[in-house]
Amino acid sequence: MCKIREAYHFPLTSSNINFFVMNLNNLFALLAMVMLCSCSKVSDKCILKGQLSGGNGEVLIYPYQEVKSKEEADSLSYTAKIVDGKFELELDAAKAVRTVNIKCGVDFKSHTIFTEPGVITITEKDGEIISKGSDSNDEFQSILKTLDYEQYNSLRYKKELSVAEQAIRDGYDAKLWELTKIYPNSIALSKLFYEKYYAADVATLGKIINSFTADIHDSYYLAKLRVRKELQEKVAIGKQAPEFTLKNNKGEDISLANYKGKYLLIDFWASWCGPCRAEIPNLKEIYKDYHSKGLKMLSVSTDSDEKAWLKAVKQEQMQWEQIRDTKTVGDNYALPYIPMIFIIDPTGKIIDKGLHGKEIRERVERIFN
């Protein structure tokens, strides 16, 4: 038989006790560092935890950033599987508004959240998606309720409104501005201004920016509005039109400088834009009446699809130069929408912009009559 080894006893001398305490302190320090590292990994992410009514499906979150292609959008999107109504998704912790798209079986729902470092829980009550758990997201959800955002959003693009509906839409603007007094440092609120007033004039953009505290002026949405304001200032009435050179539908280089000494009407448009196509007959009439008096025209397409552009040019039979932009010129001209008309004087100065319908003819008449 083998004799069991006797247990080794560590003698409790004062030096050994000090050694033990020192090593115990080192152990606590090490554990603290491990916990700190672990926490830092969580703190630089936004974790979504979902508990829905049941079923399997998928969660999809598209980028909050502006993207230029489907490939870029796909690379910045987040997805997760829903199993028995549960899901967990780890996002970057950018302070931004994102839409959570939820598909369970044949049901599809969406819910807007404000992300930041931390954990947001998404649940469902009486068919409504609810999110809680992040201070900024909780603030954002409160703001949306105060604005009655869901109802307003359903009316945003409705052309004919009842008196009550018009009051809701008008009241939204007033409440939005009032909220800047309550939440002057809210990035979430700045997103709603970005959404509503991106195409606003320079004065309005300046008012929006100054309504928020300086410490969030570099946040995503206000930074975008600041850039927008700077671009708008560069193409304000009275400023020199930014120079450019683009290819026409025959492959020739056409420059803005070619038109110095002439009044020039620039029409930014696209083949897929219904209002743009609807404006073309009006432009044809103006061209017919004023070309002989010295008016020049230039159509700048924003089409990404060259074939669609060439097809539309052939269909519309416009008698002036046709060129296509791949965003650089449109960005430099701070286009808020299309169609967008600019009128340039013989010195290259912008003398009017943003005209539509009969406003275009009236402005041209004032120049030549």
DSSP per residue, 4-52: PPPPPP----HHHHHHHHHHHHHHHHHHHHHHHHHHHHHHTEEEEEEE-
Q: Whole-model pTM?
A: 0.76
Q: What is the pLDDT of residue 43?
A: 59
Could you read off the pLDDT of 32-66 as tens digits, one per residue? 444 444 433 445 899 999 999 878 999 999 999 98
Measured from the Cβ of residue 47, the count of other Cβ atoms closer than 10 Å reads 18
Q: What is the pLDDT of residue 5?
A: 33
Lowest mean pLDDT among 6-10, 93-97, 268-272, 351-355: 6-10
pLDDT (average), residues 172-195: 96
User: What percentage of the chain carries pLDDT values higher than 70?
Assistant: 88
Mean pLDDT value across the chain = 88
How would you label 114-151 residue by residue, b for 16+ Cβ within 10 Å and e otherwise?
A: bbbbbebebebeeeebebeebebbebbbebbeebebee
Taking the C-alpha atoms of residue 211 and residue 194, their distance in angstroms, rounded to an integer, is 13
- Which helix (H) or strand (E) is 71 found in, with range? helix 70-76
DSSP, collapsed to helix, strand or coil, labels residue 296 as: strand
Could you read off the pLDDT of 274-325 as tens digits, one per residue? 999 999 999 999 999 999 999 999 999 999 999 999 999 999 999 999 999 9
Q: What is the pLDDT of residue 229?
A: 95
Q: What is the pLDDT of residue 133?
A: 86
Question: Beta strands of the chain (E only): which ranges?
Answer: 45-51, 57-61, 78-82, 86-92, 96-104, 107-115, 118-125, 128-132, 245-247, 253-255, 263-269, 295-301, 321-324, 340-344, 350-353
Taking the C-alpha atoms of residue 183 and residue 213, their distance in angstroms, rounded to an integer, is 9
* Nearest in space to 321 (alpha carbons), one of 254, 273, 242: 254
Q: Packing angle between helix 306-316 and helix 274-290, nearest 10 degrees?
A: 50
Judged against a pLDDT cut of 60, whether residue 13 lies above it is answered with no
Q: What is the pLDDT of residue 136?
A: 94
Judged against a pLDDT cut of 60, whether residue 1 lies above it is answered with no
DSSP, collapsed to helix, strand or coil, labels residue 310 as: helix
In the chain, CATH 2.60.40.1120 sits at: 45-132
* Nearest in space to 235 (alpha carbons), one of 341, 131, 146: 341
Could you read off the pLDDT of 66-95 as tens digits, one per residue? 887 889 999 999 999 999 999 999 999 999
Preceding omega of 281 cis (within 30 degrees of 0): no
Judged against a pLDDT cut of 60, whether residue 12 lies above it is answered with no
In this structure, which topology does domain 45-132 adopt according to CATH?
Immunoglobulin-like (2.60.40)
In the chain, CATH 3.40.30.10 sits at: 245-368
Q: What is the pLDDT of residue 36?
A: 41
Burial class for 363, CB neighbours closer than 10 Å (0-12, 13-18, 19+): middle
Could you read off the pLDDT of 14-30 as tens digits, one per residue? 444 444 444 445 544 44
* Nearest in space to 355 (alpha carbons), one of 335, 333, 339: 339
Q: What is the pLDDT of residue 340?
A: 96
Architecture of domain 245-368: 3-Layer(aba) Sandwich (3.40)
Edge-to-edge strand ranges of the sheet holding 78-82: 78-82, 57-61, 96-104, 107-115
Could you read off the pLDDT of 214-239 as tens digits, one per residue? 999 999 999 999 999 999 999 999 99
